[in-house]
Amino acid sequence: MLKTLLQIRVGCVLLAVLPAVGLAAASIDYADSRHAGLWLQHPVYGGPSFDAFIHSPQNPVHRGAPPYEWPVNSFFFPDPVSGNWYIYVGDYCEGYAARPSRCVLLRSTDRGQTWANLGVVLQGNKVMFDQGGHTPDVSVVYADGRYHMVYDWVEPEWSQLGGLAYAWAEKPEGPFHRAQQPITRNKDLPPLLGKYRRTYAATLLRRKHDWMIVAMMDHAPNSWALFSFTAPRPEGPYGERVLLRNVEADAFHPPLLEFYPAFVHRGFVYAPATSVALNRNYNGLFRAPLERAAHSGAWELVQNGSLWHAEDVENEAYGLWGQTFSGWVDGKGVLRVAFQSRDPKGMGTVNLAARPWNRPLRKRGFVMSGHQGSSLTLLQRSFAGFRLDARLRMRGTVRLLVDYDGVLGPNCTESDSTLHPLVLSRCDAVELSEHQWKVIRFGQTGEQTVLASGQTVGQASRLPSDTGDEGAGGTLALLSGSALALDRKPGGETSLFLDNRLLWTGRLQPRRVIGSTVLGIAVEPHSHLVVEQFAIQGKPEPAAINYLFSEGILGSGGSRDDWQELRSSQFRYGLGVVAKATGARVKWNVEGHQFTLWSPRSAEFGKAQVKVDDRLLAHLDLHAERLTPSQPVWKSPRLKDGCHALVLTAAEGMLVVDSIEVTR
């Protein structure tokens, strides 16, 4: 049931777009979770979440306080012996590294209604290998009458000397007896792919004939990888590390994801993952059969986005923070999770949520949130004449994007990345905030022209007087039951209404060929949006969405330091990069059924090869005696619609990278 659903993928304001005359197509509500997979999801840009989680009214169950401001990593453990619930909390100081972290234990004897803080359950020791350092993040398994724990450790100075270690206890509360030697010492490990050696964030798993650890390695701030190794006993010795999911592979894998912790249900191990981009509101769910989980080919992405949403409450001001949620499925088929966030003062919070396991998505409605950064999604369908009826609940600033012809890409290719300045360009927008509305045109490089604006008020609407002045401004009250209407005809004639009264009319010149208007939603930082309805009457067509070179560098785990950025009108969007060394590689992880690669040609550029999903499809010669402006240089055959990885690798000379166009 889960896999079937996931393959579909995945004051109150009434917002409506009036139809062009003569529309005959039936209305489709894209806020219905049956259409969740048509909305763009991305680790940097974020996206809408249709998830069905209900957050506990008792939240938060724990809140940070100096000198341990960040209790931001948790392991949620239901004890099969006592029936008690436990949350092992990775307790950090602000910034992680200023003083040694520890693990504290919360216990509930009434299924989460109340919690007791039992204090420190694991911390460093100056006479052991950690030298009194960090011992924050743990996982626990009950087997053979003991509670087995794997945890990560680091020296006090947060140096390269750290790794994973084992401990055991006779009760969940401890005392935990730490093994005298760690499972891994990072400094002694040979780097995988020449860069992965720091092991941390481990989940211990019991299998039929052995034990397995699923854990993280990173090459911060550009790339993260999930790996595993196995042993006959929980304390080890463990075999060689095996990469399970990483951006360096030629298959689809969203970048900037951290996994921890995993959980087991009905013979599968599930690994939720959270983006470490600035906004941190993209999440994915990966899985593999437990007995085959030590093989990379057994893993699949079963939910691409729509896994988690933040509520608009003070204890979730930063969204999902630290690692991802920690979960398990109870006997009634309910997925119960602990998750962490931060409040407006920056203190970490530990919280609970739950949803039916076999119903991952709500029937209707989605959430978008901006925390540190902006969030943006595009509906991956285009329309000519259309009518949109939507119900929104919002705080902060939200934009409805029309005629979107911008280009998607991150502003940098590492953690804490956000939208490139060109993302909000080449489109028009209706901007809504708590005190104002605007009609905005975003130009070629993101410059803004306000075409119309008005003020929102509390309980009454002061609209334009009946003077016939179509350009007059007014005051708009965004109240429960109000209807905001935008009449958008194929030729660009546009009128803005509130409750059938005209606020503004003008011409928004279409940016693409007639018949291919792409709609989207952008949510500004510190804003929250609930979309209850997004019904469009009009004939849906495939949408073409463009991605910048920075998306390709990000998607391969690369660094911008290895590229020279060029600003030239010869590139499609005025920007491009050339590799500083031979053998360069980029990868776009995208959804669609056909790809077009754009590039200029020049005497300075070399040859490249193109792969899609690890299949070599083309050899390109980007060398030319004279500079040729950017144009399509390769178009893929039509592929099965879905997730794909497009890889461009230098074969001879220097690699130039411009952009790609994806048809969905």
The verdict on 525 and 576 lying in the same domain is: no
Q: What is the pLDDT of residues 219-277, one digit of tens each?
A: 999 999 999 999 999 999 999 999 999 999 999 999 999 999 999 999 999 999 999 99
* Residue 10, pLDDT above cutoff 50: no
Paired tokens of 641: 């619609």
The verdict on 146 and 219 lying in the same domain is: yes
Predicted pLDDT of residue 159: 76
**CA–CA distance, 72 with 258 (Å, rounded to integer):** 14
Would 191 be classed as within a structural domain? yes
Predicted pLDDT of residue 482: 52
Mean pLDDT of 408-420: 98
The verdict on 474 and 570 lying in the same domain is: no
* Residue 641, pLDDT above cutoff 60: yes
**CA–CA distance, 529 with 371 (Å, rounded to integer):** 12
The verdict on 218 and 347 lying in the same domain is: yes
Would 1 be classed as within a structural domain? no
| Domain termination residue (choose one: 309, 325, 360) | 360
Would 2 be classed as within a structural domain? no
The CATH number assigned to the domain holding 584 equals 2.60.120.260
Q: Which domain holds residue 118?
A: 54-360
| Domain termination residue (choose one: 541, 556, 586) | 541
* Residue 376, pLDDT above cutoff 90: yes
Predicted pLDDT of residue 458: 40
Predicted pLDDT of residue 511: 72
Upper half-sphere CA count for residue 659 (Cβ side, 13 Å): 24
Percentage of the chain with pLDDT > 90?
81
The CATH number assigned to the domain holding 163 equals 2.115.10.20
Paired tokens of 547: 């991605």
Percentage of the chain with pLDDT > 70?
91
Nearest 5 degrees, angle CA 267-CA 271-CA 274? 165
* Cα distances (Å, whole numbers) of residue 106 to 64, 354, 438, 655: 13, 18, 48, 53
The verdict on 461 and 554 lying in the same domain is: no
Q: What is the pLDDT of residues 531-576, one digit of tens each?
A: 998 989 888 999 999 999 999 999 999 999 999 999 999 999 999 9
Q: What is the pLDDT of residues 276-319, one digit of tens each?
A: 999 999 999 999 999 999 999 999 999 999 999 999 999 999 99
Would 101 be classed as within a structural domain? yes
**CA–CA distance, 186 with 196 (Å, rounded to integer):** 10
* Residue 421, pLDDT above cutoff 80: yes
Q: Domain tally for the chain?
A: 3
Going by pLDDT thresholds of 50, 70 and 90, the confidence category of residue 384 is: confident
Predicted pLDDT of residue 483: 58
Of the chain, the end-to-end C-alpha distance in Å amounts to 26
Q: SS3 string of 307-376?
A: CCCCCCCHHHCCCCCCCCCEEEECCCCEEEEEEEEECCCCCEEEEEEEEECCCCECCECEEEEECCCCEE
Average pLDDT, rounded, for the chain = 90
Predicted pLDDT of residue 235: 98
Predicted pLDDT of residue 21: 38
Predicted pLDDT of residue 363: 97
The verdict on 475 and 437 lying in the same domain is: yes
Q: What is the pLDDT of residues 471-484, one digit of tens each?
A: 333 344 444 435 56
* Residue 470, pLDDT above cutoff 80: no
Predicted pLDDT of residue 435: 83
Would 412 be classed as within a structural domain? yes
**CA–CA distance, 555 with 579 (Å, rounded to integer):** 16
Would 461 be classed as within a structural domain? yes
Q: Which of 176, 118, 175, 115 is nearest to 151 (CA)?
A: 176
Predicted pLDDT of residue 499: 66
Would 72 be classed as within a structural domain? yes
* Amino acid symbol at 188: D
The verdict on 273 and 301 lying in the same domain is: yes
DSSP string, 154-172: E-TT--S-EEEEEEEESST
The CATH number assigned to the domain holding 388 equals 2.60.120
DSSP string, 216-229: EEEETTTEEEEEEE
Predicted pLDDT of residue 15: 40
**CA–CA distance, 264 with 401 (Å, rounded to integer):** 41
Q: What is the pLDDT of residues 96-129, one digit of tens each?
A: 988 999 999 999 999 999 999 999 999 999 999 9
The verdict on 72 and 199 lying in the same domain is: yes
The verdict on 573 and 589 lying in the same domain is: yes
The verdict on 91 and 192 lying in the same domain is: yes
Predicted pLDDT of residue 54: 98
The verdict on 176 and 218 lying in the same domain is: yes
Q: Which of 601, 327, 551, 612 is nearest to 417 (CA)?
A: 551
Q: What are phi and psi of 8, to 5 degrees?
A: -65, -40
Predicted pLDDT of residue 11: 34
Query: Which residues are paired to 73 by β-bridges?
Result: 90
Judged by average pLDDT, the poorest of 175-184, 492-501, 580-589 is 492-501
pTM: 0.93
Mean pLDDT of 49-77: 97
Predicted pLDDT of residue 24: 53
Give the residue, 333 or 433, on which the prediction is more confident: 333
Going by pLDDT thresholds of 50, 70 and 90, the confidence category of residue 515 is: low
Radius of gyration of the chain (CA): 26
Give the residue, 390 or 313, on which the prediction is more confident: 313
Q: What is the pLDDT of residues 604-620, one digit of tens each?
A: 999 999 999 999 999 99
* Residue 204, pLDDT above cutoff 50: yes
Predicted pLDDT of residue 2: 33
| Domain termination residue (choose one: 497, 522, 541) | 541
* Cα distances (Å, whole numbers) of residue 347 to 65, 114, 341: 7, 21, 8
Paired tokens of 512: 């693409």
Place of tokens 């204090």: 119
Q: In 455-515, where does DSSP find H-type helix? A: none
Mean pLDDT of 36-60: 97
Going by pLDDT thresholds of 50, 70 and 90, the confidence category of residue 456 is: low
Would 305 be classed as within a structural domain? yes
The C-alpha torsion from 153 through 338 and 346 to 89, rounded to 10°, is: -30
The verdict on 556 and 481 lying in the same domain is: no
Mean pLDDT of 171-182: 98
Upper half-sphere CA count for residue 425 (Cβ side, 13 Å): 19
